[in-house]
Amino acid sequence: MTAAVKIDVARLDAWFGRVHAVKGVSIQVPERGVLAVIGPSGCGKSTFLRCLNRMHELVPGARAAGRVLLDGDDVYGGSVDPVLLRRRVGMVFQRPNPFPAMSIRDNVIAGLKLNGLPRDTDEVLERCLTQAALWDEVKDRLGGSPLALSGGQQQRLCIARALAVEPEVLLMDEPASALDPIATARIEELIHELKERYTIVLVTHNMQQAARTSDLTAFFYLGELVECGPTEQIFTNPKESRTEDYVTGKFG
């Protein structure tokens, strides 16, 4: 049975001032699947990601055009509240960014308080930390500082924070690039577990990570989508010569 389309992007363009960073990209992301976006630095991967929840427009001089449908609704429609959109489409950044002045507990539930969501915070706290594979490591020090955690633990804390507002989609912008191999492996295991409940779009420079974690892979080059397809096909039998050259290490 074919999975339903969660995100449908058509002819997406994005600019920073006069710089055309994303050029006419069309792509579909299936529900509860993992799309990995690969390509060399400066090819528009992170810009594309930020267009999916309208974070791109927060940059002065930035703009986007085209269509991004979430469950069939245009996220750039005039009636869409970007704040509510970002609750549905959460984001995990390249470097862990816990709120340093807050405890571990308050970091996780910060989104609930910010959005005025009436939830059982103790239940949300344990559930999200468990989903992020962090509960057993921090349950006895929830009042402590997140800065006392390792880099990998801080990143999983940020994932728990993103999960607390019950998003439908998780955008991950190189979430393991600043982590050691052991912490990276744990993040990759977590991606496998989370896709049972969430749609995930992962930007990564690590092609092995893309191969290990994703169902679909999209190759970007100079702002354009060169090729998108099942991950195994992209890495073993790509249709485009530029894709083959990139995944075999001839450039990038």
pLDDT grade, residue 63 (50/70/90)?
A: very high
Q: For residues 212 and 144, what is the distance between their CA atoms, to the nearest angstrom?
A: 34
Residue 214 · residue 186 · CB < 8 Å: no
Pairing relation of β-strands 62-70 and 5-16?
antiparallel
pLDDT grade, residue 114 (50/70/90)?
A: confident
Mean pLDDT confidence for 10-39? 97
Position 92: which residue type?
A: V
Task: Give residue-wise pLDDT tens across range 148-206.
Answer: 999 999 999 999 999 998 999 999 999 999 899 999 999 999 999 999 999 999 999 99
Predicted model pTM: 0.93
Closest C-alpha to 183, from 192, 175, 173, 193: 175
Residue 42 · residue 223 · CB < 8 Å: no
pLDDT grade, residue 207 (50/70/90)?
A: very high
Residue 121: per-residue pLDDT: 83
What is the chain's mean pLDDT, rounded?
Answer: 93
Position 176: which residue type?
A: A
Q: Please tell me the least confidently modeled range out of 47-56, 87-96, 212-221, 227-236.
A: 87-96
Mean pLDDT confidence for 110-119? 72
User: What's the order of all strands across the beta sheet hosting 73-74?
Assistant: 19-30, 5-16, 62-70, 73-74
pLDDT exceeds 80 at position 116: no
Domains of the chain: 5-247 (3.40.50.300)
